[in-house]
Amino acid sequence: MSFLEYAPAPESRSILNLRDQYGLFIDGEFVDGDGTPFQTISPATEERIATIATAGTADVDKAVAAARGAYERTWSRMSGSDRGKYLFRIARLVQERARELAVAESLDNGKPIKESRDVDVPLVAAWFFYYAGWADKLDHAGLGPAPRALGVAAQVIPWNFPLLMLAWKIAPALAAGNTVVLKPAETTPLTALLFAEIVQQAGLPAGVVNILTGAGETGRDLVNHPDVNKVAFTGSTAVGREIARSVAGTDKKLTLELGGKAANIVFDDAPIDQAVEGIVNGIFFNQGHVCCAGSRLLVQESIHDEVVDRLKTRLSTLRMGDPLDKNTDIGAINSAEQLQRIRELSDIGEAEGAERWSPACEIPENGFWFPPTLFDNVSTSHRIAREEIFGPVLSILTFRTPAEAIAKANNTPYGLSAGIWSDKGSRILAVADKLRAGVVWANTFNRFDPASPFGGYKESGYGREGGRHGLGAYLKPGRELPAALRASGADSTASVTKARKGAAK
Amino acid sequence: MSRLTVPKTYKLYIGGKFPRSESGRTYEVVSSTGAFLANAAKGSRKDARDAVVAARSALNGWAGATAYNRGQVLYRIAELLEGRRAQFVDEIVQAEGVSVATAGAQVDEAIDRWVWYAGWADKFAQVVGNANPVAGPYFNISVPEPTGVVAIVAPQADSLLGFVSAVAPALVAGNTVVVVASERFPLSAISLSEVLATSDVPGGVVNILTGSPAEIAPWLASHADVNALDLVGAGDLEWVDLQIAAADTLKRVLQPENGRDAAAPSLDRISFFTETKTVWHTKSLI
Amino acid sequence: MTIETTSPVRTLAPAARAVEVLGGDLTEASLRRYLNGIPGVDAVGLEQRAAGLGTRSIKTTSKAWALDKIIELIDLTTLEGADTPGKVRSLAAKALTPDPSDLSTPRPAAVCVYGDMVPYAVEALGASHAARLPGGVNVAAVATAFPSGRASLAVKLADTADAVAAGADEIDMVIDRGAFLSGRFGLVFDEIVAVKEACRRADGSYAHLKVILETGELNTYDNVRRASWLAILAGGDFIKTSTGKVAPAATLPVTLLMLEVVRDWHKLTGERIGVKPAGGIRSSKDAIKYLVTVAETAGEEWLQPHLFRFGASSLLNDVLLQRQKLKTGHYSGADYVTID
């Protein structure tokens, strides 16, 4: 027996205590949905996990009304320090139930348990912990003294990091004093529903957090609801465009976190073994289902052969298989639809003339699987260098000079993230300056922290999540009226105009 | 026949342990009606010296922890304080002669202040630090770093709230502290040290001396291995002399505050015990 | 042999590998240029990769295989000033019978002792000494003024020759860290070459040479990388992390780094060099992480005594306790393993 064929090391599912069917979480309780219920399955085996409710239009109404009621009656009147305490409780509960949440996430999403256990869930707890501390310090958020919440936030999240994306949305919104209605992705509702249970355990007042499961239509109903003050969306650029169109002309504040086609730039003086790890992590972490994935390798031409050689050797120790096995590195593709898209684009890559390579991989019979794949000799005009594949597929291009690397990296409508690998600090900082990307990683990749703002340039969206900047999406400046106008009872929006007119006289 | 109690012994808290004063001395702590409560340790200059050594040894570990980790540790202390609320309320009622409601309000405020400060650990650097737009091809950033060992004369007028208000902010940025508790109301401080010892705070990060601030403070003020001196509770001492002594080694000094708002929570209390470090790095493509 | 230490154009002792790779112009300066030209190491990334390898979950059949393999790769060690013939005999007996309650237990690869203890080790191993029995237990001796290396070359060579003459199969030498840290790569190089020569026996065979880098004193990963290449170029058969007398001793990241070097050397020349982490590896759990790191970095072929060793003393008993648990199904205790 080869040692490298490690014996199965399955994480037990016995820690889970799942219901057979879940309702919608509205106003502090689980209730039935109007729409047709659907199944959520494990993408690794295609087995059914549970029945999930679909929120119809009336359900969306109820949820927004619950959020509005909770905002008016409870949450907006509560002190920041009390809001913070609820968030601290939630953070602690996530830590206590961490193993359970990680298993549920891997089961429903297909990502390896190693990742949900070591990356996703710890970050979820950290996100709530970080924003808990902001709730009573909003004076320092950068919007002046006593900034105000926006009101009710409609939040729609994707399937790639289900619980983490939920944390990125809910934590800052609540810390800033808003109430939320959140719709998890259709293929990954499970951890959002477990989160609803945690919200109950924390004693969070009813209606502050509402979870609506459903598909695209539910999301549309929610985003378009007239009584929503804020829309936050993470997902595809195509849907982001739709949402941007639909909020045009309304008062709704919008933040979008969309797709990317990040360049991972490796210079000839890079610490080579760590660069190879960074390339692998950049595109194969989470099966490449990462908006900020390093899906384009820009390697300096002089070291191209060496890097590709080492990359192939490294790929041969990646293990693809059961997401609940602790030794799995590459899990299942999230859905049949996504698998189809990855296959199509990969076929296009071959047709365009790029050189395709994958390590030998055993593909399980059931489930949705795609082996890690390299495309070498890719050119900037190839579709696989332009379009987001959202799978474990790396396109390899070369460059000669730093300026050329920057030009190629920026030559895209996207602008979410980028990586720079070099031993030379001055070069790293200068290249970072010139990259049109919201997150730049130097000698590392895919690092996330609640204290570090994340978001894109251009068609990768707008707004930032994480850090002090992440509060800005959920606050507006408190407006102090000049004393004379306060006495006259004038409202805040009129005050500036009046004051100007007064001065002009 | 009512049950005979097992009275607690109150010792110093140094380096994560509970030693008696090396001088062997104690002093009587009495209630507001003059009844005997306990013998507290009467700390000496050598205890102060040992406390500074402990604080210095613990500094690298505490300052080197991630801000997130410090925030978690500080929040955990609040959790444990909450769990022991009844004990603290009792102690304050006995020591200060106030009602249970008043004591309860003091304890609640102390816990809430602790939570407020815990929440700053991983974010105050984002408020007081920043990148600087210098005129040249340089990356330039200013960040706060802990100043080091902070000696504190805690507010003397109450058991717990003043103590917490002085100690918590120094810890947020990664400093370690040596604090002289209230002479009249020292017992809550030592009970707090029991909370610290059972939390995840490494030994030596907080060191608590009980006894006479008039006797101990001058040794801390002149100690060359103390980086900052918080005289918030030293209003009744010859504190100007202390400030003069501290000037020999250019310690950063906070002057006394009196009244109900002594050591009120503020971001300033955190950043006072930090040093700002500014780093330049060249930037060039070629 | 005299070594002149000042001129950068001083020609180095010709070690076959160095001549192969650097060419005929084998000077201090050319060696330094070569070593400084090797790509750097990002410590954060290296440590993260090591931590990632440490999350592998080795269970059931893999674990049983791993435990046996670890024993087969141990250099069972005693290196104390207080060592006596009696202590060495006891160690050798432990190597021959690690677990009296389970005679199927494999034997460690070697016993590792001070040079002047070699005769007692050879005698105690008797017919099971590797010199007399293929696959038997080797005798490794530390030499060259171990652990500090602070003595004249003449003394260090005599130290080595004595141990070889007494029957040592393997020599664990230390490099001159002072010379390395002050940039005198040529001197470090020449010493290794000279020690390798001192390993030569009358019949023309050589004792196996392990070169201890003392990574804890070299301090940076870049230094460890350069020292590893230097040791290989100069003729070492194994590169070894530590003497075990300085902290930090072996760590997973440092060992990972050294495995990357031997992997790259193999790619460059086709030759396989061994790696030995020593000191601080006390638990089976930790040792298994090292096996994973070897297999996933250099390759499974390296999991053999002639290419990988653990320098350890208390590790053996912890592995035996784990073996007992696998066999009986319950946790074992110190009373059920022997002291050496």
Q: DSSP string covering B218-235, please?
A: HHHHH-TT--EEE-TT-T
Rg for chain C, CA atoms, rounded: 20
CA–CA gap between residue C221 and residue C49 (Å, rounded) = 14
Per-residue pLDDT reduced to its tens digit, B111-146: 999 999 999 999 999 999 999 999 999 999 999 999
The angle formed by the CA atoms of residues B276, B281 and B286, to the nearest 5 degrees, is 170
pTM of the shown model: 0.94
- Residue A482: what pLDDT? 56
> Cβ contact (<8 Å) for A133 and B122?
yes
The structure tokens 């994707």 sit at A158
Residues 6+ apart with CB under 8 A from B243: B221, B229, B231, B253, B255
Is the per-residue pLDDT at A496 higher than 70?
A: no
> Cβ contact (<8 Å) for C45 and A272?
no
Catalytic residue among C156, C196, C276, C289: C276
Mean per-residue pLDDT, C278-297: 97
CA–CA gap between residue C312 and residue C276 (Å, rounded) = 10
Query: Which chain A residue's Cα is nearest to C52?
Result: A114
Contact C289, C325 (CB under 8 A): no
Contact A332, A320 (CB under 8 A): no
CA–CA gap between residue A244 and residue A232 (Å, rounded) = 11
Residue C327: active-site member: no
Mean per-residue pLDDT, A406-421: 97
Q: Find chain A residues with C-beta within 8 A of B122's C-beta.
A: 130, 133, 450-451
Query: How far off is chain A from B201, nearest CA to CA, in Å?
Result: 18
Which B residues, 170 through 229, put their C-beta within 8 Å of a C-beta on chain A? none
Catalytic residue among C237, C240, C286, C289: C240
pLDDT band of C53, cuts 50, 70, 90: very high
Per-residue pLDDT reduced to its tens digit, B71-104: 999 999 999 999 999 999 999 999 999 999 999 9
- Residue A114: what pLDDT? 97
- Residue A499: what pLDDT? 45
Alpha-carbon distances of A163 from A116, A330, A483, B82, rounded to whole Å? 10, 19, 47, 30
Catalogue the E-assigned strands of B132-171.
Answer: 138-146, 149-153
The angle formed by the CA atoms of residues C130, C133 and C135, to the nearest 5 degrees, is 65
Catalytic residue among C172, C190, C237, C286: C172
Per-residue pLDDT reduced to its tens digit, A91-120: 999 999 999 999 999 999 999 999 999 999
Interface test with B, best of A429, A431, A435, A469 (most B CBs within 10 A): A429
CA–CA gap between residue C294 and residue C281 (Å, rounded) = 15
**Checking phi first, is residue A235 left (phi over 0); if not, alpha (psi -120 to 50) or beta?**
left
Per-residue pLDDT reduced to its tens digit, A114-125: 999 999 999 999
Residue C325: active-site member: no
> Cβ contact (<8 Å) for A430 and B284?
yes
CA–CA gap between residue A97 and residue A99 (Å, rounded) = 6
- Residue A497: what pLDDT? 45
Per-residue pLDDT reduced to its tens digit, C8-17: 677 788 789 9
Q: Which of A1-15, A54-68, B46-60 has the lowest mean pLDDT?
A: A1-15
Identity of the residue in A132, A429, A467 whose CB atom sits nearest the CB atom of B119: A132
C60 lies within 8 A of chain A by CB: yes
Q: Beta strand A38-41 with B149-153: parallel, antiparallel or unpaired?
A: unpaired
Is the per-residue pLDDT at C3 higher than 70?
A: no
Contact C325, C332 (CB under 8 A): yes
Query: Which chain C residue's Cα is nearest to A310?
Result: C264
Alpha-carbon distances of A334 from A42, A388, A391, rounded to whole Å? 8, 16, 10
The structure tokens 């790293």 sit at A428
The tokens of A385 are what?
A: 């260098």
pLDDT band of A504, cuts 50, 70, 90: very low
Q: Find chain A residues with C-beta within 8 A of B121's C-beta.
A: 133
Q: Find chain A residues with C-beta within 8 A of C49's C-beta.
A: 273-274, 277
Q: Find chain A residues with C-beta within 8 A of C39's C-beta.
A: 269-273, 423
Mean residue pLDDT across chain C: 95
Mean per-residue pLDDT, B166-174: 97
B267 lies within 8 A of chain A by CB: yes
Q: Beta strand A48-52 with C110-114: parallel, antiparallel or unpaired?
A: unpaired
Residues 6+ apart with CB under 8 A from A79: A136
pLDDT band of A480, cuts 50, 70, 90: low
Contact B119, A136 (CB under 8 A): yes
Interface test with B, best of A82, A92, A129, A399 (most B CBs within 10 A): A129
Query: Which chain A residue's Cα is nearest to B282?
Result: A426
Mean residue pLDDT across chain A: 94
pLDDT band of A253, cuts 50, 70, 90: very high
Burial A286-319 (b: 16+ CB within 10 A, else e): bbbbbbbbbbbbbbbeebbeebbebbeebbebbb
Contact A212, A181 (CB under 8 A): yes
Chains B+C touching (3+ CB pairs under 8 Å) = no
Per-residue pLDDT reduced to its tens digit, C156-201: 999 999 999 999 999 999 999 999 999 999 999 999 999 999 999 9
> Cβ contact (<8 Å) for C56 and A327?
yes
Is the per-residue pLDDT at A376 higher than 90?
A: yes
> Cβ contact (<8 Å) for A271 and C55?
no
- Residue C7: what pLDDT? 59
CA–CA gap between residue A459 and residue A237 (Å, rounded) = 7
H-assigned helices in chain C: 16-22, 28-36, 43-53, 60-72, 85-96, 118-125, 153-165, 177-181, 185-198, 215-218, 221-233, 252-269, 284-297, 315-328
B285 lies within 8 A of chain A by CB: yes
Does a cis peptide bond (omega within 30 degrees of 0) precede residue A392?
A: no
Q: Find chain A residues with C-beta within 8 A of C296's C-beta.
A: 4, 317
CA–CA gap between residue A399 and residue A414 (Å, rounded) = 20
A443 lies within 8 A of chain C by CB: yes
Nearest in space to A88 (alpha carbons), one of B104, B76, B201: B76
Look up the ipTM and state it.
0.93
Is the per-residue pLDDT at A495 higher than 50?
A: no
Which residues are paired to A12 by β-bridges? none
